[in-house]
Structure 1
Amino acid sequence: MATIAATGTSVLDVVSIVSGLMQVENLALTKIDTRISAVNTKVSALGSFMAKASALQSALDTLGTASSFTARTTTSSNSALVTVAATTSAQAATLAVQVKQSATAQQTLVSGFGSATDSVSTEAGAFNITNTATSAVTPVAVTAGMTLTELAAAINASDAGVTAAVVQQSDTGYSLLLTGNSVGAAQAFSTDFTPEGGTAGVLTGTTTSTPQTAADAAVRVNGIEYTRSSNTFSNILPGVTLTLNQPVSAADWDSASSASVGVSTSNANAATSVNAVVTAYNEAYTLYKSLTRSNADAALRGPLAGDQTLHSFMAQVRSMIDGGFNDAAGNNVRFYNAGITTAADGTLKVDSAALNTALEGTLGTILANGTSVRPAEGTQSLLAFVRSSVLTGGMLASGRTSGQSMVDALNDQRDTLSGRLASKQARYTAQYARLDAMLTGMQQTSSALEGALDSIKAQNEAK
């Protein structure tokens, strides 16, 4: 509102007169401001409750995610020897594992060289690497006078399935070490040298030995023997994979290395998720009670007292909770059978021991199948109901949108009324300013007449 400034000598206090008139006019504006404040309080309160409802939705979403409750815990008494991994299809079990042989790659030494630059042959020819299982031969070209280092490089450049290295075994003894690139008996290989036009044999002046043969892994699991071409054993039991982690070679099963490995299910994630739902519900319920509190004293009354939206929402939530945990297979566990009961103040409380017992039974199965909280005969789950309620157009969202729309409409009314009051104040100011000017003029005329009469009177008295 504009302020009124008095100028010059005035008969009327225009500022005070107009302010007094506008105080009455502004009562309608004050009423609108009071309504805006009240509706904003309700919109804010409903927004706070929607945040709690969204937290409940998130907790229910996690509870309904089956993969959260199908993880397996694995252990090994000798993890340096063997470790175990398990998928969700694995059953709880304890396995006695004996490792007789880990899968190995063949290592062959071609010895008899005095240095890494020794010539491997005075004749050109081919150094042949033959896969024992398939009889596939990979010839590596040898030139006359080729050094040991050059031969190793040529082998590594070939596709023979082995890696070559020059090793110094003594001060004057060098060898060509060939190591298979893959483990398992099927990766065994042999070598020979064929000079051009000659007969296959070994490189001149060398000996060949195999300090490590290519071998398959061999284990016993609960007394049953298994072999694999690698150090990974899958499909021994559904969902269970064993991995051998260190070289082992035993003469017999009696001297085999051993370990005990275990696969177990865990209720920790499930218990945490159930408790999270209870916590989210309790926070929403506690806020609901506060927001809808009734009291004869307006100062103690909740901002949403008498609002049927929240009452209806909580009634439906409670009805669905009473339906318990359900899965698509028709399994059902009521909350009270899972150790979840209602306290005197209406919140939920959890008996951890009873909850764990339920999780070890049917409730654990329901969670692993993918659960929903709903009435047994109902089709809509609590998660779906809460989610739809906070989405645009839903029960809670619509109430908040309606309140915000009312605030917008009241603000429009306020702007319109404020404009009219500003115009009325301007008219009052102009009207009373004109009246003040007229009265001031009349006062000045009166003063002039009075002065003239006083002068005439004085003149007459002097005669």
Structure 2
Amino acid sequence: MGVGSGIDTATLVEQLAAASKKPKEDLIAKREEANSAKISALGNISSAIDSFASALSSLISGGSLFTQATSSDTGVVASALAGSRIGNLSVQMEVRQLAAAQSIASGSYAGATSPIGQGQMTLTTAKGSFAITVDAANDSLAGLARAINAAGAGVTASVIQDTTGSRLVIKGATGAAQAFSLSVDPSADAGLQAFAFDPASYDAGNPSGMSLAQAAQDAIVRVDGVEVTRTSNSFSDLVPGVKIDLRKAAAGTVITIGSSRPTAAISQAVSDFVAAYNELKSMLDAATAAGAGALRGDVGLREMQRQLAKLPTTVLSSAGGPATLAEIGVRTQRDGTLAVDGARLSSILASDPDGVEALFNPGQTASSPLIRIVSPYGAVKPGTYTVSDLVAGDPASGKIEGFLGVVSGSQLGSSIAAKSKGLVIEPLGNLAEGTITVDLGLGGALQAIRDALRASGGPLATTQARLATESKTIAKDREKMETRESAYHDQLVRQFTAMDSRVAAFKATQSYLDQQIKMWTSGNN
């Protein structure tokens, strides 16, 4: 271009196209920048909400805000059951006997593959009677061990080596009821008779078959003067909310099961909660500030602010003590931030530590000891639910919130049509009516707010979807603008090319006319 006219039309076209495109491109770039700022601000707020809820949830799940059980002897371990509110404990317990599993051993043989004799045997355990066959294919210590293990009788057989040779060792489960016997058919080979054992007639001074290494026995403990037995050294039904593990305690050991309250941890958790809340509020305020806020006027953000502002007065516990954060000294100031009344908090912690603890920790309680709650925390919405016509057994039966329970062995699940959806219980006895109370605690309340904000159709999800749509719209507008401006550029090229051609034609005509005139002028002279 420009050859015919002598004008630099190529540069002129680029300048005209750029002048047309710049204001439109600047407008789209401004929209992109504003939307990116909104997305970034929303992402920061979303992360802050996650951190806000997760930090407290970690403390709760780690047990830092629960009263912990203690033991005065390292040989006995006491621990609070998940979610239990054990309160102030002082239980005296004497260990009389540890639970043990029956263990028997055979005489010594040259090796694991040494023949032992063939014939039929009967292994009798708590599970029933099991036929054991020893024939040419498994006539050895190792073969007999495999046959016993394959029977699934609830005992374990193995071949061990000692200084005298190889022995068959059979071990059962802990508890007196788990004792077992091994009888040999009279028609079996004589060698097989050496593996017979009956705990009822066993004579340690004159053993005729396998030797008793350890008798099956229950754990025996005396709790506050009352003697009880348990089949295992680990049990959680003697002290409410506490699991006890007898590990190395010798017979006659007397211990005290107590409790350690997390007073300092709860006080720190309140302060940390207030600091995190104020930081999150500051972030929300900055994002929604009139004029400068990236998300000013956003409906979803206003809903977040509204829900968070309700936290200090949200009912978190129905345990009978303080029910809200405001009642333990967390107050809302004029600017909407929170502050801690330290004197009030200390006073409540001293007078009702269980009530304060209940505010932070989720709780599930049944009105009767005949109801065991199986469903985990968070599976059921907070509230009080009615159960009725409970019958223990396998299968169990009964109603939850007026609906027939969904039976799964000895357990009952709530109908999905009931407001108690997610609740699973196990009736431990027959009961006409009872209630289940579920409290979320502060950690659960924060989780519920986060879930509500993130739910499909929730404030956070709605704003995220709107900003994503805006990003796509801006991208399409940029694409359309680029297409239009490219077309305009091409149009300018065509126009100036045509103009250049016409100017060139005009110049050619002018040159021809100039030439003719000169010829005419020369001829006249």
- Following the alignment from structure 2 to structure 1, what is the Cα–Cα distance between the partners of residues 476 and 519? 64
Change in Cα spacing, 1:46 to 1:438, as seen in structure 2 (3 Å) is same
3-state DSSP of counterpart to 1:440: helix
Residue 63 of structure 1 contacts residue 270 of structure 1 at CA under 8 Å; is this kept in 2? no
Query: What are the Cα deviations for residues 347-398 of structure 1, in whole angstroms up to 9, with x where unaligned?
Result: 4455788657548242322434323679xxxxxx776555444444333443
- 1:262 alignment partner in structure 2: 258
3-state DSSP of counterpart to 1:26: helix
Residue 312 in structure 1 maps to residue 302 in structure 2: yes
Change in Cα spacing, 1:349 to 1:59, as seen in structure 2 (3 Å) is farther
Residue 10 in structure 1 maps to residue 79 in structure 2: no
Alignment-mate amino acid for residue 303 of structure 1: A
Across the two proteins, how many residue pairs are aligned to each other? 407
Query: What are the Cα deviations for residues 224-254 of structure 1, in whole angstroms up to 9, with x where unaligned?
Result: 43345654565433344544334856xxxxx
Range with greater deviation from structure 2 (60-69 or 43-52): 60-69
Residue 46 of structure 1 contacts residue 400 of structure 1 at CA under 8 Å; is this kept in 2? no
TM-score, normalised with respect to structure 2: 0.55
- 1:428 alignment partner in structure 2: 492
3-state DSSP of counterpart to 1:327: coil
Alignment-mate amino acid for residue 302 of structure 1: G
Per the TM alignment, residue 51 of structure 1 is displaced from its structure 2 partner at its CA by 1.6
Query: What are the Cα deviations for residues 409-453 of structure 1, in whole angstroms up to 9, with x where unaligned?
Result: 454444444434433333333233233233234334444555666
Query: What are the Cα deviations for residues 57-79 of structure 1, in whole angstroms up to 9, with x where unaligned?
Result: 84499499899788663333333
Range with greater deviation from structure 2 (70-79 or 451-460): 451-460
3-state DSSP of counterpart to 2:310: helix
- Following the alignment from structure 1 to structure 2, what is the Cα–Cα distance between the partners of residues 429 and 214? 101
- Following the alignment from structure 1 to structure 2, what is the Cα–Cα distance between the partners of residues 311 and 243? 50
Unaligned runs of 5+ in 2: 111-116, 134-138, 188-192, 195-203, 364-438
Match of 1:303 among 274, 294, 299: 294
RMSD after superposition: 5.8
- 2:458 alignment partner in structure 1: 394
Alignment-mate amino acid for residue 43 of structure 2: S
Change in Cα spacing, 1:441 to 1:352, as seen in structure 2 (3 Å) is same
Per the TM alignment, residue 329 of structure 1 is displaced from its structure 2 partner at its CA by 6.3
- Following the alignment from structure 1 to structure 2, what is the Cα–Cα distance between the partners of residues 13 and 160? 99
- Following the alignment from structure 2 to structure 1, what is the Cα–Cα distance between the partners of residues 213 and 495? 119
3-state DSSP of counterpart to 1:363: helix
Match of 1:84 among 78, 83, 89: 78
Residue 360 in structure 1 maps to residue 353 in structure 2: yes
Alignment-mate amino acid for residue 76 of structure 1: S
Range with greater deviation from structure 2 (234-243 or 349-358): 349-358
Residues 209-220 of structure 1: matches in 2 within 5 Å? 217-220=219-222
Per the TM alignment, residue 276 of structure 1 is displaced from its structure 2 partner at its CA by 6.5
- Following the alignment from structure 2 to structure 1, what is the Cα–Cα distance between the partners of residues 241 and 80? 5
Change in Cα spacing, 1:15 to 1:50, as seen in structure 2 (3 Å) is same
Residue 107 of structure 1 contacts residue 177 of structure 1 at CA under 8 Å; is this kept in 2? no
Per the TM alignment, residue 45 of structure 1 is displaced from its structure 2 partner at its CA by 4.4
Residue 208 in structure 1 maps to residue 206 in structure 2: yes
Residue 245 in structure 1 maps to residue 247 in structure 2: yes
Alignment-mate amino acid for residue 236 of structure 1: L
Larger Rg belongs to: 1
- 2:282 alignment partner in structure 1: 286
- Following the alignment from structure 1 to structure 2, what is the Cα–Cα distance between the partners of residues 25 and 168? 97
Residues 86-235 of structure 1: matches in 2 within 5 Å? 86-87=80-81, 88=84, 90-103=86-99, 181=172, 208=206, 217-228=219-230, 231-232=233-234, 235=237
Change in Cα spacing, 1:70 to 1:64, as seen in structure 2 (3 Å) is closer
Alignment-mate amino acid for residue 208 of structure 1: N
Query: What are the Cα deviations for residues 267-300 of structure 1, in whole angstroms up to 9, with x where unaligned?
Result: 68866876675455334322223223456xxxxx
Per the TM alignment, residue 320 of structure 1 is displaced from its structure 2 partner at its CA by 0.9
Residue 42 of structure 1 contacts residue 403 of structure 1 at CA under 8 Å; is this kept in 2? no
Residue 309 of structure 1 contacts residue 396 of structure 1 at CA under 8 Å; is this kept in 2? no
- Following the alignment from structure 1 to structure 2, what is the Cα–Cα distance between the partners of residues 72 and 232? 20
- Following the alignment from structure 1 to structure 2, what is the Cα–Cα distance between the partners of residues 184 and 433? 103
- 1:327 alignment partner in structure 2: 317
Per the TM alignment, residue 140 of structure 1 is displaced from its structure 2 partner at its CA by 12
Match of 2:39 among 21, 25, 44: 44
- Following the alignment from structure 2 to structure 1, what is the Cα–Cα distance between the partners of residues 22 and 455? 39
3-state DSSP of counterpart to 1:208: coil
Alignment-mate amino acid for residue 491 of structure 2: R
Match of 1:442 among 506, 517, 521: 506
Change in Cα spacing, 1:165 to 1:352, as seen in structure 2 (3 Å) is farther
Residue 52 of structure 1 contacts residue 283 of structure 1 at CA under 8 Å; is this kept in 2? no
Query: What are the Cα deviations for residues 128-157 of structure 1, in whole angstroms up to 9, with x where unaligned?
Result: 9999xx9x999999xxxxxxx999998997
- 2:69 alignment partner in structure 1: 74
- 1:371 alignment partner in structure 2: 440
Alignment-mate amino acid for residue 221 of structure 1: V
- Following the alignment from structure 1 to structure 2, what is the Cα–Cα distance between the partners of residues 31 and 160? 79
Alignment-mate amino acid for residue 238 of structure 1: P
Identity %: 22
Change in Cα spacing, 1:236 to 1:29, as seen in structure 2 (3 Å) is closer
Residue 161 of structure 1 contacts residue 180 of structure 1 at CA under 8 Å; is this kept in 2? yes
3-state DSSP of counterpart to 1:401: helix
- Following the alignment from structure 2 to structure 1, what is the Cα–Cα distance between the partners of residues 179 and 71? 32
- Following the alignment from structure 1 to structure 2, what is the Cα–Cα distance between the partners of residues 66 and 330? 23
Structure 1 or 2: more helix by fraction: 1
Residue 105 of structure 1 contacts residue 214 of structure 1 at CA under 8 Å; is this kept in 2? yes
3-state DSSP of counterpart to 2:238: coil
Q: Which has the higher contact order (CA 8 A, sep 6+)?
A: 1
3-state DSSP of counterpart to 1:313: helix
Residue 50 of structure 1 contacts residue 396 of structure 1 at CA under 8 Å; is this kept in 2? no
Residue 68 of structure 2 contacts residue 260 of structure 2 at CA under 8 Å; is this kept in 1? yes
- Following the alignment from structure 2 to structure 1, what is the Cα–Cα distance between the partners of residues 477 and 154? 89
Change in Cα spacing, 1:453 to 1:275, as seen in structure 2 (3 Å) is same
Query: What are the Cα deviations for residues 199-227 of structure 1, in whole angstroms up to 9, with x where unaligned?
Result: xxx99xx9617898776544333344334
3-state DSSP of counterpart to 1:96: strand
